[in-house]
Amino acid sequence: MPTAVPPPTLDELHKAFVDLLDRAAAHGSSTPVETWLHPAVLDAIDSVARAWPEVDEALIAKAHRRFARYERAHTSATSTPTRWR
């Protein structure tokens, strides 16, 4: 029987967000299928990846706003984040 993996902390979610956003902006890498990040955050990161190599700073700012809106609001409202995908 597999052992349950605890959900990530807000710091771990933020690190994952920054890593994915950096890869999208630097290499055009899209997000993985399974992640703890909200689908709207992943869509914003994928918008950055699709714009590569000419990424507009507005897209990066939008991704940061989405992360702040969905992840911080969610984790402050509940004790554990929800796995979205």
Give 39-55 pLDDT, tens digit per residue.
Answer: 999 999 999 999 999 99
Check pLDDT > 90 for residue 3. Answer: no
Q: Is residue 31 part of a domain?
A: yes
Q: Is residue 68 part of a domain?
A: yes
Q: Which domain holds residue 32?
A: 10-77
From 33, 43, 31, select the one nearest 67 (Cα to Cα): 43
Q: Is residue 70 part of a domain?
A: yes
Q: Is residue 72 part of a domain?
A: yes
Q: Is residue 2 part of a domain?
A: no
Query: Which pLDDT value is given to residue 84?
Result: 52
pTM for the predicted model, two decimal places: 0.81
**Percent of the chain predicted with pLDDT > 70:** 82
7 vs 30: CA distance, rounded Å: 22
Domains identified in the chain, total number: 1
Q: Is residue 5 part of a domain?
A: no
